[in-house]
Structure 1
């Protein structure tokens, strides 16, 4: 954090600004896996809805789907795990109407920090990298 400083100039004194991060916590990246499930829905409707969700939520990495369940993986920027989880738990409901998502319920949520995500990959376990990116059947 920079201190306030008085700078003498030809037109009087100016006060320097504190750094932008002073007084607030920095955001971190969190890897989110959201699992939803419910009544069978035609596959083409599920795919179209997930593609619309990806358009509405540009940080969506990948979605996998079947007629009665789906998994959505993406990165979320948030101050802490609690904030990232709160956003994830609202995602499906908030986009249900605009993306015409099936009326499924959230049945699973995993939120892990970026370091943990990369550590799991390095150790050979955890979610595989989200490749290819996009919406794909299970």
Structure 2
């Protein structure tokens, strides 16, 4: 049984599964695992096909009802502690921007992980109940090209949590 929203899967995702990079974990679909439990032959692993991971620069923008600045700062500092690859966060009392590097196989995986970041850490870091209003995912080469040409945000410096 396929889990998720009813209807056709999003384009290009019918055979996709998200896995942590470099774990060498089992990437078979749940349907494949069910067949194995029923005694059916296990499909042969794809020979020598290892997708290389890449670095992706993520900019996640969130916004919502006003919250006390001290609480927003403390929550973003906790998020930086929980997610050590966080480069910088800028915040105001009703919005924030989080920038960091993510390692993933492709853009789709990097975006999926980035979109889960806020929700998964909302309770542990006591983040404001804001919604994601923007997401930019660019590869490392594009990021450095933009910086070299004077476009895009300046490099994440100083690193840390700062007000806008």
TM-score when scaled to structure 1?
A: 0.84
Aligned residues: 117
- Structure 2: unaligned runs, 5 residues or longer: 1-47
Q: Is 1:34 the equivalent of 2:60?
A: yes
1:56-75 → structure 2 map (5 Å cutoff): 56-75=82-101
Moved over 3 A (4+): none
**Structure 1 unaligned regions, length at least 5:** 1-21
Question: CA RMSD of the aligned region, Å?
Answer: 0.4
TM norm structure 2: 0.71
Question: Which of 84, 97, 115 is the aligned partner of 1:89?
Answer: 115
Q: 2:141 aligns with which of 95, 112, 115?
A: 115
Partner of 2:69: 43
| 1:57-90 per-position Cα deviation (integer Å, ceiling 9, x unaligned) | 0000000000000000000000000000000000
| In 2: Cα distance, 1:69 partner to 1:132 partner | 19
- Structure showing greater radius of gyration is 1
Check if 1:78 corresponds to 2:118: no
Q: Deviations over 1:77-131 (max 9, x none)?
A: 0000000000000000000000000000000000000000000001011121000
Tell me the CA shift for residue 23 of structure 1. 1.5
Structure with the greater relative contact order (CA < 8 A, sep ≥ 6): 1 or 2?
1
